[in-house]
Amino acid sequence: MAPGIWKATIGAPEAATPVRSRRVPPALQGLGSLAAIAHCPLPIPEFRITQRGTELNLPLAEGELMYGFGLQLLSFQQRSKKRTIRVNADPKVDSGDSHAPVPFYVTTRGYGVLIDTFRQATFYCGEAHPKPTQAESASSLEVNTPQRMRVRDRDLQGSVRIEAPRCAGLDVYVFGGPTMLEAVQRYNLFSGGGVLPPEWGLGFWYRAEMHLNGDEVLKLAESLRADAIPCDVLGLEPGWQTHAYSCTFAWDRHRFPEPSSFIQQAASEGFRVNLWEHAFTHPASPIFAELVPFAGDIAVWDGLVPDFAAEGGRRVFGGYHGRELIDRGISGFKLDECDNSDFTEGWSFPDNSRFPSGIDGEQMHAQFGLRYQDTIWDEFRKRGTQTYGLVRSSGALAAPYPFVLYSDLYDHRQFVRALVNSGFSGLLWCPEVRDASSAEDLVRRLQTVVLSPLAMVNAWYIRNPPWKQMDRDKNNRNEFSEGWEALQARCQEIIGMRMQLLPYLRGAFARYRAEGVPPFRALVMDFPDDPSLAAVDDQYLIGDRLMAAPLFAGEAVRNIVFPPGQWQDFWTGAMVTERKITVQGSTRNIPLYIKAGSLMPWAEVGPHTGAAEARRLSVRVYGDGHRRWSAPHAAGGLQLAWQEGKGGVQQPGSQKRPFVVTGWERIGS
Amino acid sequence: MAPGIWKATIGAPEAATPVRSRRVPPALQGLGSLAAIAHCPLPIPEFRITQRGTELNLPLAEGELMYGFGLQLLSFQQRSKKRTIRVNADPKVDSGDSHAPVPFYVTTRGYGVLIDTFRQATFYCGEAHPKPTQAESASSLEVNTPQRMRVRDRDLQGSVRIEAPRCAGLDVYVFGGPTMLEAVQRYNLFSGGGVLPPEWGLGFWYRAEMHLNGDEVLKLAESLRADAIPCDVLGLEPGWQTHAYSCTFAWDRHRFPEPSSFIQQAASEGFRVNLWEHAFTHPASPIFAELVPFAGDIAVWDGLVPDFAAEGGRRVFGGYHGRELIDRGISGFKLDECDNSDFTEGWSFPDNSRFPSGIDGEQMHAQFGLRYQDTIWDEFRKRGTQTYGLVRSSGALAAPYPFVLYSDLYDHRQFVRALVNSGFSGLLWCPEVRDASSAEDLVRRLQTVVLSPLAMVNAWYIRNPPWKQMDRDKNNRNEFSEGWEALQARCQEIIGMRMQLLPYLRGAFARYRAEGVPPFRALVMDFPDDPSLAAVDDQYLIGDRLMAAPLFAGEAVRNIVFPPGQWQDFWTGAMVTERKITVQGSTRNIPLYIKAGSLMPWAEVGPHTGAAEARRLSVRVYGDGHRRWSAPHAAGGLQLAWQEGKGGVQQPGSQKRPFVVTGWERIGS
């Protein structure tokens, strides 16, 4: 296929698969720059094609551990589990079901496997052994289990037993490493390379209460500016859902009598506007009649289900969005409800519904989020403009897509685990802040979200920011908490840190685009041979030199494990001297660590990313500063070096808005 | 098929289905005694057979509500939901998955539908409407939804959209009513009639801590007698699980050096012994070599998966149980782990594993519990003895089976809902008591379990009864709570009530056997036209005249709804004058109500059901006592009448142990 990528075709694969339906080509240049690998790390798979579908077995070595399968909220290391790759809106059980499951895994032996199917494939990860055929020695009887629990068999040889139902064949892609990180890079580059979001997309986002009218949204935006809360994007609901909940995509004219003027006023204050929607199209929508021939046979909420797998469906749906919304200045969308509902009410279209493009509901669910993103993204691409938005479902080969996943679930630990897991499968995840059970909870959640792909407070059910009042009813009655100003100041500082970190983050994303390195990723991805990191799902790497260990409200202490190498406390510069430490749960700042000797660009805090402050930066110097920093691929790219007690800056290429380094600050001794 | 039962065959059904694999014939005599129905209540179904499987549509009328689908713990009325009939050990999401899902539903229009498949069928219950094809009036836009919630469409016509995967046809059975109760009766009689458990099975059960040795178990049994806690059955674990957790079915000889003598000693004190096990057979088991040819291709916990669908598998596995255990006096078994594990670790055999009988893992999971029950039950039947046991999985046509379902989950409300739901699908459910969060919780759980098919405390992880100490560690250190005697007295009284109720319960089960009327069932089953009962999933009918409304710990008040007719408080005889009442959460006794004018047999409390006390009863007389009571089908059957201020008794047929009525007690005024 490409250097270090192998493909095995079993039987007669279906026409609709992630790779065969792909709409972004592989990033060949990036792939070419990775080291070549002589031999495929896996043998040709054993397989069997029956009326059930296609089955195959891939080997696992002793102690080999598995990661991936997309946006898993409930587990991290996947060996010993059964995973079903099925799209689901409420992944409350650890079954593999997820908003964005991906039939892709990587292992500590340094390779990745993509099963190229939109079917609800099942992976039995290493525990399905053939039946014993000889009596074992009676000695095995001597140790009875004290609890009713069994010994795990991770230390045995095994196999991944995979079944893709209802297909008479499939393609299997193997991504070589030789390291786990390089296997992920290859997958991401094969997907088309990671997304580099527009700068404003990496700023701070605020979603307004769903009933606010245009004037109220603008007033809210003003108050953010007045309170010196940086903000780039306002999210809102245009009120285009009907009584049946399907959408018309026509603004509620009572709340937004002049949308264009509203968008322009927001823009004049440096705000972009992002609109909530879902795809199910009500008969009263202006696109209804044109969409009927490009819709599935079953309604959702009395609305059409657009066939986004068909060019016509994308054209009708996307074209309207382009003309009526993007051309008027909308920066992006929040694509809701595009997953599925096996664990809730079964509100979405059935797996056996039919679409004009020839696929069934099962195949559509696996790509509805992907093709919905395509539909919207296409309109921006046609116009040569960038977007960055939110989506509730995604799938395989999604690395290039400018959309970030979110969930209606709200467990902080799960949100961090999702962030850690997302990096294995080319996904981005937003651990959004909605409300909080306490000031501590609010601060801890906010500290996490500003160290994520999309820094957002989603206040869709409270009229004021949560730091002004955490009680929902009181918030909506505009009654603020006593002492809210202090909490707001804390939150302002945390959001400010997002702005300070932006040049660094943008550099990390640039590397995602060019080299496929996930900007947010698990420790084990960079250090697969370190057993102490194999289960760490609540710490993560950011870019090439930072590691975060979020605090969770209500916990007295926080244990932190360090990867090999020398680390310094980001805030104080203190050297970390142990591989495992414990910090107090009351620690003010989020525990954040930097590789010893690093340079770190640190921007000033302005009202939004377009402001002049975003281009003025000091450089934090840790230790001897030998670890240079560069973001050559990013617009406004920049290289920093530190020699003999003085800084050095190089600005490669042409820049519209060059950086100005205002100073160099030594952190710690 | 039979009076009031219709069968439609679509395409070419599989050989392995619930009906085609049935091992108990229909109860033709009972079916013959139900009223004939002229016309099938449903039209011939629309269907489609494709490579996905077999799909069909069945109509739903406006307002028609659906119940059933087996042991659903998380929901009650099923219209508007998607249900997947998939066996699962940890049904923590409302997806249809369950220990004992059944592809059978009944509706308020008074009929039932069985989809005869072991495949993981999916039911879209009424929400999958065809896509709209005409623009509706713009008026539908005017009312936007205040929350992001939609209007339900139960009030519309609709259809149940059913898909059975991987089969090229199936049989559909329709059970006429004309009432919902009669539709359920027909289903149960078609299944072979309900089980009538042995009398001892309806006594009190106590499962001992898993590590106790024979002497300790006997000492525990003695202490129950000394404390005057009635008990018929002791459950225990013989220690035959290995380090890998698979079983040998050979007693741990350290703990039980002489099993036969142990069983005899227990029997001499009036105790029967029930043994825990699961089916996965370790290589060190005496049956291993003989079982190898009758096992699936994949191991579970390094053990064989017996092919219970094959006569040979049942013979090897069951034969050993007969010779080695049943012949030595074991009364029954607790068949654990026979469900599946999609939501946990995937520990069970894969859906695509293969069995010598020709079925795959998917088909096996749907019947593993059923055929496991057959395997064990066969051995008792061969010997002409009765059994009553526990099983963690069951399925379609299970009404005649002498096994009661249980779960490792432990939510009291869910346990009551499971009891209420079980009656729709021919299942029995045990809301077992393990431990409790408070004395109140213990009392409330115990009050529920004594009004269920199997009254059991399952103390498998505590060495002493929970009423002596609720803290697990202290319990296992034999440290009792202060004042435990008072709590024990409360529990003793509640368990005593079970013994008092036994003649009535046995009558209710006799009617289950003869007429198919579930002894425990939802209010809506008897009163489908009353909308106030349509969602009542925490009250239930017991037999022909009792209604229970369990209390749940920590709730200040309890709302109770009454079915049509006149009701009296069971404890006081007070007439209920409102259709809806509220009782205090602190109420001492479980709220229990009896149809006005009822007679109720009320036994004395003895140490076990074989004791003389079980045959001495007073009769509780409510109001004018016009509602006679009879249990003509039950062994020891009895008819009670009350006329002109004096009692009347008739003992029909021959009885080994006749009842003695010791007195008549007027309850209330």
Residues B499 and B528 occupy one common structural domain:
no
Q: How far is B353 from chain A (nearest CA, A)?
A: 9
Domain boundary among B504, B538, B555: B504
Answer yes or no: do A127 and B347 touch at CB < 8 A.
yes
CATH number for the domain that contains residue A215: 3.20.20.80
Residue B140 forms part of a structural domain: no
pLDDT of residue B134: 66
Which candidate from A248, A299, A360 shows the least CB-CB separation from B130? A299
- Distant-in-sequence, close-in-space partners of A445: CB < 8 Å, separation ≥ 6: A412, A415, A431, A433, A436, A553
> Which alpha helices (H) appear in A608-666, and where do they start and end?
none
Residues A615 and A531 occupy one common structural domain:
yes
Answer yes or no: do A299 and B346 touch at CB < 8 A.
no
Chain A positions touching B138 (Cβ under 8 A) are 284
User: In the predicted model, is pLDDT for residue B537 greater than 60?
Assistant: yes
Place of tokens 């409302």: B94
Structure token pair of residue A51: 């009326």
Query: What pLDDT digit, counting tens, does each position of B20-41 carry?
Result: 999 999 999 999 999 989 899 9
Residues in chain B: 669
Q: How far is B350 from chain A (nearest CA, A)?
A: 7
Place of tokens 């651990």: A431
pLDDT of residue B345: 75
Chain A positions touching B361 (Cβ under 8 A) are none
Domain boundary among A453, A471, A506: A506
pLDDT band at B523 (very low <50, low <70, confident <90, very high): very high
**How many distinct helices (H) and strands (E) make up chain A?**
12, 30
Q: How far apart (Å, rounded) are the C-alpha atoms in residues B167 and A518? A: 43
Answer yes or no: do B349 and A133 touch at CB < 8 A.
no
- Residue A255's closest CA among A266, A233, A271, A239? A239
Interface test with B, best of A150, A212, A251 (most B CBs within 10 A): A150
* CA-CA-CA-CA torsion sign (A260, A264, A265, A266): positive
State the pTM of this model: 0.94
Average pLDDT along chain A, 669 residues, taken 10 residues at a time: 91 98 96 92 94 96 96 96 95 95 98 98 92 61 44 70 96 97 98 97 98 98 98 97 94 97 98 98 96 96 96 98 98 97 86 97 98 98 98 98 97 98 98 96 98 98 97 97 97 98 96 97 97 97 98 97 98 97 97 97 97 95 94 80 83 76 91
Q: How far is A223 from chain B (nearest CA, A)?
A: 25
Residue in chain A lying closest to B139 (CA): A284
Residues A428 and A549 occupy one common structural domain:
no
- Residue B333's closest CA among B413, B400, B274? B274
Structure token pair of residue B404: 């009661």
Helix axes A361-382, A311-321, angle to 10 degrees: 50
Q: How far is A397 from chain B (nearest CA, A)?
A: 26
Answer yes or no: do A141 and B244 touch at CB < 8 A.
no
pLDDT of residue B128: 87
Residues A180 and A219 occupy one common structural domain:
no
Which candidate from B241, B298, B345 shows the least CB-CB separation from A129? B298
Q: How far is A575 from chain B (nearest CA, A)?
A: 40
CATH number for the domain that contains residue B101: 2.60.40.1760
Residue A365 forms part of a structural domain: no
Q: What total of structural domains would you count in chain A?
A: 3
Q: What is the predicted ipTM? A: 0.92
Residues A285 and A400 occupy one common structural domain:
yes
Answer yes or no: do B289 and A135 touch at CB < 8 A.
yes
Structure token pair of residue B223: 């202490």
**Burial class (CB within 10 angstroms; exposed 0-12, middle 13-18, buried 19+) of A319:** middle
Residues B312 and B359 occupy one common structural domain:
yes
Residue A484 forms part of a structural domain: yes
Answer yes or no: do B283 and A134 touch at CB < 8 A.
yes
Query: What pLDDT digit, counting tens, does each position of B343-391 carry?
Result: 877 899 999 999 999 999 999 999 999 999 999 999 999 999 999 999 9
- Distant-in-sequence, close-in-space partners of A486: CB < 8 Å, separation ≥ 6: none
CATH number for the domain that contains residue A616: 2.60.40.1180
Which candidate from A52, A140, A243 shows the least CB-CB separation from B151? A243
Is the distance from CB of B536 to CB of B524 less than 8 angstroms? Answer: yes
Mean pLDDT, residues B506-512: 96
Name the phi and psi angles at A653, rounded to 5: 70, -170
Residue B148 forms part of a structural domain: no
DSSP string, B519-546: SEE-HHHH-TT-GGGTT--S-EEETTTE
Is the distance from CB of B554 to CB of B563 less than 8 angstroms? Answer: no
Residue B509 forms part of a structural domain: no
pLDDT of residue B151: 45
Residues B476 and B341 occupy one common structural domain:
yes
Residues A299 and A415 occupy one common structural domain:
yes
pLDDT of residue B382: 97
Answer yes or no: do B145 and A243 touch at CB < 8 A.
yes
DSSP run (H or E) holding B278: strand B272-278
Q: How far apart (Å, rounded) are the C-alpha atoms in residues B591 and B559? A: 11
Answer yes or no: do A166 and B52 touch at CB < 8 A.
yes
Residue B401 forms part of a structural domain: yes
Residue in chain B lying closest to A347 (CA): B127
Residues A449 and A532 occupy one common structural domain:
no
Query: What pLDDT digit, counting tens, does each position of B615-657 carry?
Result: 999 999 999 999 999 987 776 778 999 987 788 888 766 567 8
Chain A to chain B Cβ contacts (< 8 Å): 219
Chain B positions touching A138 (Cβ under 8 A) are 284
Name the phi and psi angles at B31, rounded to 5: -60, -40
CA dihedral angle for residue A497, residue A503, residue A508, residue A514, rounded to 10 degrees: 160
The b/e string for B169-193 (b: 16+ C-beta within 10 A; e otherwise) is bbbbbbbbbebbbbbbbbbbbbbbb
Mean pLDDT, residues B497-508: 97
Residue B592 forms part of a structural domain: yes
Which candidate from B131, B134, B143 shows the least CB-CB separation from A296? B131
Residue in chain B lying closest to A151 (CA): B244
Q: What are the strands, taking DSSP E only, across B12-75?
A: 46-50, 53-60, 66-70
Residues B611 and B487 occupy one common structural domain:
no
Residue A418 forms part of a structural domain: yes
Provide the residue range defining the domain that includes B171. 5-130+155-190
A617, β-bridge pairs: A603, A661
Residues A245 and A169 occupy one common structural domain:
no
pLDDT of residue B146: 41
Which candidate from B135, B283, B298 shows the least CB-CB separation from A284? B135
Answer yes or no: do B299 and A132 touch at CB < 8 A.
yes
Domain boundary among A506, A528, A559: A506
Residues B312 and B339 occupy one common structural domain:
yes
